[in-house]
Amino acid sequence: MDSVVPPFWGPDFDELSSTDPEIAQVVLGELDRLRAGLQLIASENLTSPAVLAALGSTLTNKYAEGYPGRRYYGGCAQVDQAETIGLTRARELFGAGHANLQPHSGASANLAAYAALVAPGEKVLAMELPHGGHLTHGSRVNFSGRWFDAVGYPVRADTELIDYDQVRDLARRHRPKLIICGATAYPRLIDFAAFRSIADEVDAYLMVDAAHFIGLVAGGAIPSPVPYADVVCATTHKVLRGPRGGMILCRAEFAERIDKAVFPFTQGGPLMHAVAAKAVALREAARPAFGEYAAQVVRNARTLADGLAEAGMRPVSGGTDTHLALIDLREVGVSGRDAEARCELARITLNKNAIPYDPQPPMTASGIRVGTGCVTTQGMTEPQLRVVAELIARAVRADPATVAGTAELTEIAGAVTELVAEFPAYPRPVEYSR
Ligand code: DSN
């Protein structure tokens, strides 16, 4: 190529600094934040520089309503290639009959799946939000609860696990048109075969919201829902480590319905830079190294949950099989809200979270949720996760309203800085002018 401009216009912080110093400072400040602390939000990860390069490319400029070879605009030859490559990778990686990479987010993917499978007013059975579900699983403040007749299933109070007999009873009683499994704060494996059998018994569609765990599926660390579900919705930015966005996998017979539900029913032009970045992430996820990563994510989450349990902080359901643990803080006497704030002062980022049958409102919450996607990307393994558990346990108990608590949080922040210095986020030197 004789081109005098680079084939893609990658992230150029010097350019950003001179054009918009204010936003440049925000971008660099966020990089500093990532590097200075521990990122334990279970729905986040640290994308590769290759994913960032695709995201920061000129593909952001292109309007491409439609699908490869069937666009409403000219000039789509290059983006057609990006999307076709990404779709092939998605189908091959997950063994799916059909894929769609255009949903802007996990919630958008779920909206499209509803649009493809059910009509407004029809009955949907999904996990209750306070028990680990998602807003799009029937919450009254969301389209799913407003436009559909949503029935929720809880987890059992004694085991904090899904009770498949109870789900079957609810399905028999309510005869939903759509059953959804998948969650944002359920640390255990989900029995997709059981859900398939329940859906078949009541003649319902089965949608799996795999937003949280699709990366573990990609890496072979947990069983795949693809053979059991009619439609699998996912995000691409959690353990899968791609750009922020959504993805749908489905059986071939649902291909046309799903594609039409994404565009033109619920979305307009796709974000082609994001689609290309999803393709990059899918290539990365197909490598053997990603399988090792996914397995380590689970080992790290188990180590973290065990370490917190030893420190007197009870993991909901007794532990985890996945990338996340939900921790009940009632015995410690600290709310999830206060724990989140204390940890933040110690440079540990995590989120407050409702636990099943939580007596507190969601903005207070009795628990915290921790996930190991980011720290595993940074190269941490079991020895470091034991240290992380100790640091969290100390931070949660340190009251910043006291002199001793403030001193303790400062000391923990120092220990965090030392730990992450050995396992930096985005380790390549970045020496951009400020
Ligand atoms: N906000 C995401 C999470 O943290 O789980 C779900 O949408």
- pLDDT tens, N- to C-terminus, the chain (434 residues): 333 333 333 456 778 888 999 998 898 889 889 999 999 999 999 999 899 989 999 999 999 999 999 999 999 999 999 999 999 999 999 999 999 999 999 999 999 999 999 999 999 999 999 999 999 999 999 999 999 999 999 999 999 999 999 999 999 999 999 999 999 999 999 999 999 999 999 999 999 999 999 999 999 999 999 999 999 999 999 999 999 999 999 999 999 999 999 999 999 999 999 999 999 999 999 999 999 999 999 999 999 999 999 999 999 999 999 999 999 999 999 999 999 999 999 999 999 999 999 999 999 999 999 999 999 999 999 999 999 999 999 999 999 999 999 999 999 999 999 999 999 998 755 444 44
pTM for this one? 0.95
Using the atom order of ligand 1, give the atom closest to the CA of residue 135: 7
Atom 4 of ligand 1 has which residue's CA nearest to it? 43
What distance in angstroms lies between residue 272's CA and the mean position of ligand 1's atoms?
23
What distance in angstroms lies between residue 11's CA and the mean position of ligand 1's atoms?
27
What distance in angstroms lies between residue 178's CA and the mean position of ligand 1's atoms?
22
CA 29 to chain centre: 23
Q: In terms of residues, how long is the chain?
A: 434
What SS3 state is found at 396? helix
Atom 5 of ligand 1 has which residue's CA nearest to it? 184
Rounded to whole angstroms, how far apart are CA atoms 296 and 315? 19
Residues with beta carbon inside 6 Å of ligand 1? 43, 106, 134, 184
Question: What burial letters (b/e) apply to 291-300, b meaning 16+ CB within 10 Å?
Answer: eebbbbbbeb
Residue 246 structure tokens: 């959504």
- Structural domains of the chain in order of their starting residue, each with its CATH number: 58-285 (3.40.640.10), 288-432 (3.90.1150.10)
Known catalytic residues? 63, 65, 209, 235, 238, 244
Q: Are 372 and 379 contacting, i.e. CB atoms less than 8 angstroms apart? A: no
Atom 3 of ligand 1 has which residue's CA nearest to it? 43
Strands 70-71 and 66-67: antiparallel
Q: How far is CA 242 from CA 238, 273, 346, 351, 355, in A?
A: 7, 12, 28, 21, 28
